[in-house]
Chains A and B, each alone.
Chain A
Amino acid sequence: MLFNSAEFIFCFLPLTLAVYFILNRAKQLKAAKIWLFLASLFFYSWWNPVYLPIILLSMVFNFFVGKQLSKKGTGRNRKGILIAGIVANVLLLVFFKYTDFLIQNFNALTSSSLSLLHIVLPLGISFFTFQQIAYLVDSYHGHTADYRFLNYGLFVSFFPQLIAGPIVHHSEMMPQFYSEENMHFRYDNLSKGIFMFFMGLCKKVILADSFALFANYGYSSPEQLSFLDSWITSISYACQLYYDFSGYTDMAIGAALMFNIQIPQNFNSPYHAKDIQDFWRRWHITLSRFLRDYIYIPLGGSRSGEYKTLRNLMITFLIGGLWHGAGWTFIFWGFLHGFALIVHRLWTKYSPYRMGNFLGVFITFNFVNIAWVFFRAEEWSDAINILQAMFGFGEGEPFSISIITDVYVIPIALIGIVLLFMKNTHQRLKEFAFDTKHLALTVSLIILGLLFVNSITANDFLYFDF
């Protein structure tokens, strides 16, 4: 079920919320949690019920492995269980996400012709797998409490974050599911949740889907792009991706807040980043946190000398690239970011020169924008064509524009660009007050959001593919 669908906004969300708090009010706390758990599973299976057993099995498996790992004093056995647990999770992910990629590479290397399996990727598998790997590692280190299955199930399946994150951590979610205070209906959280949800909805259905028109058009015929077309295409995709994913996250945060659950911030004006390290502190923050805590630091982080630090950075980002998709373009995108972080680290350490903020933001944005070309392009040749055009080696008149076929989208795109320089949704949420200004803003967001939801603009969320 999509957050930007009428069935979610008018049926699923209000019904789930109402029954949840009615049960809580009647002191049926366990029943309320069971309801929320079942509603989350229903939300997941709306897309395809066939994949429901996968998430349930994954949940049960990891819960019991986590239980074993939290038991003290089993020594080497525990490490074996941890490795087995992680391998099982990774294999599940590899099977669904990377099988065809592996077959393709095997065929290319050995000149064989094994058929591709065309396995459909279960929604959210990359997210709930990482979430549970973190849980296993923390159980091993004794950082988890003796959780009950219902709360664990809710932690994994809680519908606002189930499909496309943020990648929540058990330590920030479990206490909230245990807290009885959170089970009381709160008008303030409902108001803030609605405000946040509709800000996210507008970002998705108005801004992201409008930028998508230009980006999709450009990426569908990259060999024909002029210089201007290629820049409009790449910047449109950069904006689309940001508004799409951050819009989804805002909706997730808003929906969770209605249930008095706080989900961590995932974006903090990433295109304001002054350097690439700053970018990764602002873009998909919960993924960066996972990569840092469960890959970079276990590899040794920055504790084992300069060379190993740089190596660890590169490995972490290659994995980050691969996590986003089964393709060499994603791996190369990860490589570019890893390389940029290495350059940044060396520059910071050895160069006496410090860039000004403006130059830093300019260079960072352009680097990120160019790297997105590999992230979005379906083929290497597409990426190369777009980059050639961006650097003035494209076909046709450099300043001709052919990708803007719908002039009505131009004002929306311009608003989207202006909004990049303004306060982000989290800053606006912090300033939220129960006053007339916010009342008018909330109502406007609701009306605008619903107007666009009722229009033929709906595209799936981009991060559903990852």
Chain B
Amino acid sequence: MTAKKFIIRVGIFSTLLIAVIVGINYSLDIYGLFRDTKGRHLNIYADERTSKYLLSFNYIPENFEGIIIGPSLSANLNPKYIEEFKIYNASIMGANISELSYLVRNIVENGDLKFVIICLDPYLTKDHGRKTAMIDPKEYYGALGSTSLLKAYILKYIREWELLPEEYPKEYINDYGFNNFNLVLDKGKAREMIEEEAAKGEEEIYIDPLALQELKETLRYLRENDIKIIAYFSPLPYQVLSANKDNYREYQEVMASLLTPRDILLDLNDEEYQEITSDYELFIDHGHLSEKGQVFVLNKLRNVLREEFLPERQQK
């Protein structure tokens, strides 16, 4: 083969292969970026951050009227439980408000969102900025061919064929964004972990000033776009809360000051819920909710949504 033929063939084969790879990924479109997403059910198989970020371009705005945002404390809420409303759980394990605001802005810009449910927990505002490179506009093109996409395909088949059910259970994050991480976490240690946490006593709750500013900006942005804000303080084990009462109340006051009378605030740590939040079975550890806890929170949210939106719907 001559050098000229060699280089021409390199060009042709490389272009063809790239076209094939891009074509396959374009047609599979597991993040709903390139084709119409109406009626599609897009589950997540790997990298919650990247996946939810990419789904926030089209899939979430085109298919859902409301979203839940927050850290892991709200990530395991299954919005399918609230049947009257199509809600996507855009919460991300370990996320702060900076990361979540990328998703919120994408969803608001590309759809017709009616409400946002915000899980208020100190984790949301304890730091700011992107914690990883996984929420990156570059990933948009990565959906045409990248290592994270390859990883998603591999995990899709590992999960669907149940090759490693312990580490990668079949049900991971469903098409409503519900992260069923309870499947892989150790169970039966809630009491021990809650008591251990409570024994630590009063601990300072740090609010990062920039994160607080970002939360304020995000709320302002939602109001500007006429989107209802429903915030709730995620229930904490009463034993842990009692040990941190003063600091937590202080934190709650700061958060409440960000909201206006138009917004809705649910305090699920209020004394009236003491009996419920004292129940160890509500949690899987010192803060994350068990199925029982999820139902408690989802019921409360459902009631609020019904009151707020059903009369309006019935009128229509």
Instruction: Tell me which residues across on chain A come within 8 A of B151, comparing CB atoms.
Output: 408
- Interface segment, one of A31-39, A69-77, A447-455: A447-455
- Interface size on A (CB < 8 Å)? 23
Q: In this assembly, does A391 line the interface, its C-beta being within 8 Å of a C-beta of chain B?
A: no
**Which single residue of chain A is at the shortest CB-CB distance from B8?**
A187
Q: Per-residue CB proximity of A442-466 to B under 8 Å, as 1/0?
A: 1100110011101111000000000
Q: Per-residue CB proximity of B1-44 to A under 8 Å, as 1/0?
A: 11111110110011001100100000000000000000000000
- Interface segment, one of A104-112, A188-196, A288-296, A414-422: A188-196
Given contacts A434-B1, A439-B13, A443-B14, contact A456 B148 (CB under 8 A): yes
The reply to whether A454 and B141 contact each other, CB–CB distance below 8 Å, is: yes
Q: Within the assembled complex, what's the spacing in Å between the Cα atoms of A239 and B159? A: 33
> Which listed residue (A435, A439, A455) contacts B10, Cβ 8 A?
A439
Instruction: Tell me which residues across on chain A come within 8 A of B146, comparing CB atoms.
Output: 451, 454-456
Given contacts A187-B2, A434-B6, A447-B14, contact A456 B136 (CB under 8 A): yes
Q: In this assembly, does B214 line the interface, its C-beta being within 8 Å of a C-beta of chain A?
A: no
Q: In this assembly, does B287 line the interface, its C-beta being within 8 Å of a C-beta of chain A?
A: no
Q: Within the assembled complex, what's the spacing in Å between the Cα atoms of A456 and B147? A: 8
The reply to whether A447 and B18 contact each other, CB–CB distance below 8 Å, is: yes
Q: In this assembly, does B142 line the interface, its C-beta being within 8 Å of a C-beta of chain A?
A: yes
Instruction: Tell me which residues across on chain A come within 8 A of B133, comparing CB atoms.
Output: 456
Instruction: Tell me which residues across on chain B come within 8 A of A455, comparing CB atoms.
Output: 142, 146-148
**Which single residue of chain B is at the shortest CB-CB distance from A409?**
B147
Instruction: Tell me which residues across on chain A come within 8 A of B6, comparing CB atoms.
Output: 187, 191, 434, 438-439
Q: In this assembly, does B111 line the interface, its C-beta being within 8 Å of a C-beta of chain A?
A: no
The reply to whether A191 and B147 contact each other, CB–CB distance below 8 Å, is: no
26 interchain pairs, CB-CB under 8 A: A187-B6, A187-B7, A190-B7, A191-B6, A191-B7, A434-B1, A434-B6, A436-B1, A443-B13, A443-B17, A446-B10, A447-B17, A450-B18, A451-B145, A451-B146, A452-B147, A454-B138, A454-B144, A454-B145, A455-B142, A455-B147, A455-B148, A456-B136, A456-B138, A456-B139, A456-B146
Residues of B that sit less than 8 Å from A by CB: 1-7, 9-10, 13-14, 17-18, 21, 50, 133-134, 136, 138-139, 141-142, 144-148, 150-151
Residues of A that sit less than 8 Å from B by CB: 186-188, 190-191, 194, 408, 434-436, 438-439, 442-443, 446-447, 450-452, 454-457
Further pairs besides A187-B3, A187-B6, A194-B10: 20, Cβ < 8 Å? A187-B7, A190-B3, A191-B3, A191-B10, A434-B5, A436-B1, A438-B6, A439-B13, A442-B10, A446-B10, A446-B14, A447-B14, A452-B147, A454-B145, A455-B142, A455-B146, A456-B50, A456-B138, A456-B146, A456-B148
